[in-house]
Amino acid sequence: MEMGKTLAAMPSTQRTAAKYLGGFFAVMALLTFLSRAADSFTVPVVTAEKISGGSLEHRAVAEGSLYPVSQAAVFAPAGYRILALHAEPGGRVSEGDILAELDVTQIQEQLDAAREELQKLRLGAAANAVRAPGETDESGIAAAERAIERAKADMEAAERESQLRVETARGDVSAARRFRRELRDMGEASDQELDEARNALRKQEQALEEAYLAREAALEAARRAIEDAEILLEREKAKAGRAAEVDAADERRAALEREAAGVDIRLAQQKVSELEALLETGGIVTAGTAGVVMKISGGVGSLTTGESLFVLSDSTAGVLFRTSVKVDDLKHIRRGNPASIVLTGERYAIDAVIESVSPTANGDGDFDVAAVLPDGSWEPGTSGKMTVTRKTASYPMRLSNGAVRKDQNGHFVLVIREVKGVLGNVTVAERVDIGVLEQDGSRCAVEGPLEQDDWIIIGGNRPVSVGNRVRLE
Amino acid sequence: MKKTVVFSALCLLSLLIWIPLCMLISGSLMSSGEIAKNLSPVLEGKSGFAAWPLMPRYPTFRAYVELLLDTPEFFVMFWNSCALVFPVVFGQIAVGAPAAWALTRPRFRQRKILRMIYIALMLLPFQVTMVSNYLVLDAFGLLGSRWAVIFPGIFSPFPVFIMMRFFSAIPESLLEASALDGAGPVRCFLSIGLPLGVPGILSASVLGFLEYWSMMEQPLAFLGDKSLWPLSLYLPAISADKAGLSLAASILMLLPALLIFLFGQHYLEQGIQAAGTKE
């Protein structure tokens, strides 16, 4: 009332200013409240934890299924139509149980064809056995040798004949000389006679010279004849050697062909025997051992492939839990480690022991792990989940994985620190760089300048960055 | 005709004074991108000259919304300013009015010396008295609290000087008459001095409010705790990339000062007259 009177007494400008001033402060008070309310929405509410000491627990979880320790395959020859199947995967069978029936008519047809094929192979082998005798070409060598002999004999004859001629010519020369000497000694021979005698001697000497030449020519001709015959002999011998090599290769080839034919015959015989045996059983495939049908390759109406038609387990030999793990998990799995297995549909875990760890056959870097289950009525083929846990040594500082953050400068955590500011003491997220020593699925061991009382942010209702104001939940 | 020319000339001159205010208002309505573009030669050292259009190209209240709804720090400092300024102003009235009365009315020998000391103290700027203030406040254990700003403000000599001029304008005969009627010195002050000195008190209050609303040195020197800082220290703390926020804060800071001025304009003019005229 008093205030109203005072305002009424004021000049109008003053009155308006006073009203606006009051309104201004009222609006500011309202906006103060609103900004605080907005702040409560925008400041992240975070959850935090303090560091704790202790060990990490590495846990490897892998899905797999139960396999029998021992398995038996049931085979059927390839290419036969399956008329009926009397087993299904997971079904239990006894030894001798009928598993499948094959098409008998088709078997009979194939048996007939196989027998004919066998017969054909045998005949072919017999034909090959009748082999043409080897033809050795000796005539050329013998002829050459004979030619040498003949040439040598010709040479000797020519030598003798020419020698005889030389001797005869030499005797004629001597007789002519003697006749001339006697004629001269007698002194009564006319000059004409002497000239005749001299001429006769000259003729005889010329004849002797010709005889010598004729002998040399005859001997040379004979030597050439011998050389030609020897060359011919060499050629004949080389020809004969080549012919012998060709004959040996033909012999080896023929032997191999005979051997191949023998193998073909044996295979055909085997096929015939198999078909006969199959026909004898009436095309029925039976279980060789008691167990559970693990796998069936093929269906009714399809053809057999020659691979195992059925895989039967031998459940009496025990079961293994088999799974495949990544190489990262492998460091926590060792042979002999305990493992916990929960089978599908079961509520309780089974304690098992790792039996073997080996690289997978497909070479993808994964590892096959097998664990032995204790005695019990385990059904091969049942799927389940295996968990292997391994504890590390104790670490002085452990944090939840959610508390550790990473950027290009490395790992860090956001610690809630109280700072003085315009708003008074407020809590902000402060960056503290740390090193991560080891990490498991939920926690990690760290090192760094952290205190036992530090609250480390692990999450919040919205993302938190370094320097943000935060509220601890 | 002559009046029109004078009026036009005065309008043109007043425009020079209005330009900063216009820039403040238009800047507070600009988007941050537009401000950055206009001020890039200043803020980012780019070539050319900064431009400042009187009208924003795309006016927006974003800066006001952000300041008023998403910046609780602004309100903390706003109320800090109120918590400092209002006690100072009320304290100046409570302390300054009796002091001004005492230095005006009662006749005693040292009155002139005391008035000289007051005027001398009033002429000393804050920077001169800061160290002695600091030592005294430290000795009293007031450093770091609001009282470190409030007490020196309350005992400021300037409002005493303003009020002295008003009290001295009260006719002496009026006081003598009241004294004859049996009124004592306190009664005279409360019943005659204060009602007649209201214009002086109010003009001193307005001047005190305007002075302390924009004070910077005192809180910087005596308040270490940022949570006690007044709004006048909020404006320099805003970075260049939040210039829009800074301009909006300037407008809001200007408003109470403007309203207080309008409220006390009449008394302020009287105060100036009182200070400028002789009995």
The pLDDT tens digits for A53-69 are 998 888 888 889 888 77
* Domain limits, chain A: 42-55+394-472, 106-282, 315-391
| Residue among B40, B31, B33 nearest B59 (CA) | B31
The larger pLDDT score, comparing residue A330 to residue A178, is at A178
Q: Are residues B174 and B98 in the same domain?
A: yes
Tokens (6 digits) for A460: 């919040």
Distance, CA of B217 to CA of B143 (rounded, Å): 14
Contact A24 B265 (CB under 8 A): no
Q: B237 and B145, same structural domain?
A: yes
User: How far apart (Å, rounded) are the C-alpha atoms in residues A164 and B79?
Assistant: 166
* Same domain assignment for residues B170 and B245: yes
Q: Residue A319, class by beta-carbon neighbours within 10 Å (0-12 exposed, 13-18 middle, 19+ buried)?
A: buried
**A32–B69 CB contact, under 8 Å:** no
Alpha-carbon gap: B75 to the closest alpha carbon of chain A (Å): 6
| Res A148: pLDDT | 85
Residue where a domain terminates, one of B40, B60, B80? B60
CB A309 within 8 A of CB A297: yes
**The tokens of B207 are what?**
């001047």
Q: What is the 3-state secondary structure (H, E, C) of chain A?
A: CHHHHHHHHCCHHHHHHHHHHHHHHHHHHHHHHHHHHHHHHHCCEEEEECCEEEEEEEEEEEEEEEEEEEEEEEECCCCCEEEEECCCCCCEECCCCEEEEECHHHHHHHHHHHHHHHHHHHHHHHHHHCCCCCCCCCHHHHHHHHHHHHHHHHHHHHHHHHHHHHHHHHHHHHHHHHHHHHHHHHCCCCHHHHHHHHHHHHHHHHHHHHHHHHHHHHHHHHHHHHHHHHHHHHHHHHHHHHHHHHHHHHHHHHHHHHHHHHHHHHHHHHHHHHHHHHHHCCCEEECCCCEEEEEECCCCCCECCCCEEEEEEEEEEEEEEEEEECHHHHCCCCCCCEEEEEECCCCCCEEEEEEEEEECCCCCCCEEEEEECCCCCCCCCCEEEEEEEEEEEEEEEEEEHHHCEEECCEEEEEEEEEEEECCEEEEEEEEEECEEEEECCCEEEEECCCCCCCEEEEEECCCCCCCCECEEC
Please return the burial class of B192, using the count of CB atoms within 10 Å of its CB with bins 0-12, 13-18 and 19+: buried
Question: What is the mean predicted confidence (pLDDT) over A143-158?
Answer: 84
Whether B266 contacts chain A with CB within 8 A: yes
Q: Count the Cβ atoms, other than its own, within 10 Å of residue A137.
A: 12
CB atoms within 10 A of CB B118: 18
| Equal fold, A106-282 vs A315-391 | no
Is there a contact between B265 and A16 if contact means CB atoms under 8 Å apart? no
> At the topology level of CATH, where does A42-55+394-472 sit?
2.40.420
Please state, in angstroms and rounded to a whole number, the distance separating the CA atoms of residues B164 and B96: 9
* B270 inside 8 A of chain A by CB: no
Taking contacts as CB-CB distances below 8 angstroms, the residues of chain A near B69 are 31, 34-35, 38
Residues with Cβ within 8 Å of B164's Cβ and at least 6 positions away in sequence, in order, are B100, B103, B104, B115
Q: Which residues pair with A431 in a beta bridge?
A: A414
**Range A256-283 average pLDDT:** 85
Round the average pLDDT of chain A to a whole number and report it. 84
Contact between residue B241 and residue B32 where contact means Cβ atoms under 8 Å apart: yes
Query: Quick one: average pLDDT of A297-305?
Result: 83
Domain boundary among B44, B60, B76: B60
Q: Return the pLDDT at A3.
A: 52
Distance from CA of A390 to the nearest CA of B (A): 50
Place of tokens 């009382």: A453
Residue in the block written with tokens 């191999």: A256
pLDDT attached to residue B152: 92
The count of residues in chain A is 473
Two structure tokens written together for B236? 């320099």
The C-alpha atoms of residue A50 and residue A472 are separated, in whole angstroms, by 13
Top pLDDT among A128 and A336 is at A336
pLDDT of residue A434: 92
B271: pLDDT confidence band, cut at 50, 70 and 90? low
Q: Which residues have C-beta within 8 Å of that of residue A316, sequence separation ≥ 6?
A: A290
Q: What is the pLDDT of residues A391-413, one digit of tens each?
A: 888 999 999 998 999 999 999 99
| pLDDT of A2 higher than 70 | no
pLDDT(B278) > 50: no
> What is d(CA A19, CA A6) in angstroms, rounded to the nearest whole number?
12
Of A246, A248, A236, A245, the closest CA to residue A138 belongs to A236
In which band, very low, low, confident or very high, does the pLDDT at A181 lie, cut at 50, 70 and 90? confident
CA nearest to A84, candidates A309, A306, A293, A312: A309
For residue B220, the enclosing domain spans 68-275
Q: Kindly give the residue spans of alpha helices, DSSP state H, lying in B53-71.
A: 62-70
Size of interface A-B (CB pairs under 8 A): 71
Band of pLDDT at residue A1, cut at 50, 70 and 90: very low
DSSP secondary structure letter of residue B4: H
Residue B274: per-residue pLDDT: 59
Q: Which two tokens stand for residue B84?
A: 């400092």
- Are A265 and A258 in contact by the 8 Å Cβ rule? The answer is no
| Alpha helices per DSSP H over B169-232 | 172-180, 185-187, 194-196, 198-213, 217-222
In this structure, CATH architecture of domain A315-391: Beta Barrel (2.40)
Amino acid A69: pLDDT: 76
- What is the pLDDT at residue B277? 53
Q: Show residues of chain A in contact with B70, CB under 8 Å.
A: 35, 38-39, 42
| Band of pLDDT at residue A8, cut at 50, 70 and 90 | low
Q: Structure tokens of A266?
A: 């044996």
Token digits for A89? Answer: 């995967």
Residue A460 has pLDDT above 80, yes or no: yes
For residue B240, the model assigns a pLDDT of: 65
Q: Is the dihedral of CA A217, A218, A219, A221 positive or negative?
A: positive
What tokens appear for B261 in the block? 């001025």
Residues of A in CB contact (< 8 Å) with B are 11, 13-14, 16-18, 20-21, 24-25, 28, 31-32, 34-36, 38-39, 42, 420-425
Q: Rounded mean pLDDT of B114-121? A: 88
The predicted pLDDT at position B222 comes to 92
pLDDT digits (tens, 9 = 90+) for B19-28: 888 888 888 8
Maximum pairwise Cα distance, chain B? 79
Give the distance, in angstroms, between the CA of residue A90 and the centroid of all CA atoms in the same chain.
34
Does the pLDDT at position A23 exceed 90? yes
φ, ψ for residue A163 (rounded to 5)?
-65, -40
For chain A, the maximum distance between any two Cα atoms, rounded to a whole number of angstroms, is: 219
Residues 218 through 257 of chain B touching chain A, CB cutoff 8 Å: 225-227, 229, 234, 255-256
Strand A45-49 with A284-286, pairing: unpaired
- B211 with B80, same domain: the answer is yes
Cβ(B24)–Cβ(B251) under 8 Å? yes
Length of chain B: 279
Quick one: CA dihedral A123, A126, A128, A130, positive or negative? Answer: negative
* C-alpha separations of B2 from A221, B8, B15 in Å: 167, 10, 20
Q: How confident is the model at residue A5 (pLDDT cuts 50, 70, 90)?
A: low
- Tell whether the model's pLDDT for residue A329 goes beyond 80: no
The chain B residue lying nearest A35, using CA atoms, is B69
- Record: contact B227-A36, CB cut-off 8 A: no
**How many angstroms away from the CA of B76 is the closest CA of chain A?**
7
Range of lowest pLDDT (A62-66, A366-370, A377-381, B230-234): A377-381
- Whole-complex ipTM: 0.85
Pick the CATH number of A106-282 from 3.40.1350, 1.10.287, 1.10.3470, 1.20.1270: 1.10.287
- Tell me if chain A has a CB within 8 Å of the CB of B61: no
pLDDT for the residue A42: 86
CATH code of the domain in which B143 resides: 1.10.3720.10
Map tokens 């008035």 to a residue: B115
> Does the pLDDT of residue B139 top 90, yes or no?
yes
Of B60, B85, B110, the position where a domain reaches its end is: B60
B92 plus B144 within the same structural domain: yes
B56 & B175 share domain: no
- Residue B19, classed as helix, strand or coil, is helix
B157 and B220, same domain (yes or no): yes
B88-106 pLDDT tens trace: 999 999 999 999 998 888 7
Instruction: Please compute the mean of the pLDDT values over residues A233-253 and round it to a whole number.
Output: 86
Give the per-residue pLDDT at A315: 60
pLDDT band of B279, cuts 50, 70, 90 = very low
* Segment A60-88 mean pLDDT: 83
Name the domain count of chain B.
2
User: Do residues B53 and B75 both lie within one domain?
Assistant: no
The torsion angle over the Cα atoms of residues A27, A28, A32 and A35, rounded to 10 degrees, is 70
- Tell me the two tokens of residue B114: 């005391």
Q: How far is CA B205 from the centre of its chain?
A: 9
Contact A29, B68 (CB under 8 A): no
Same domain, B178 and B230: yes
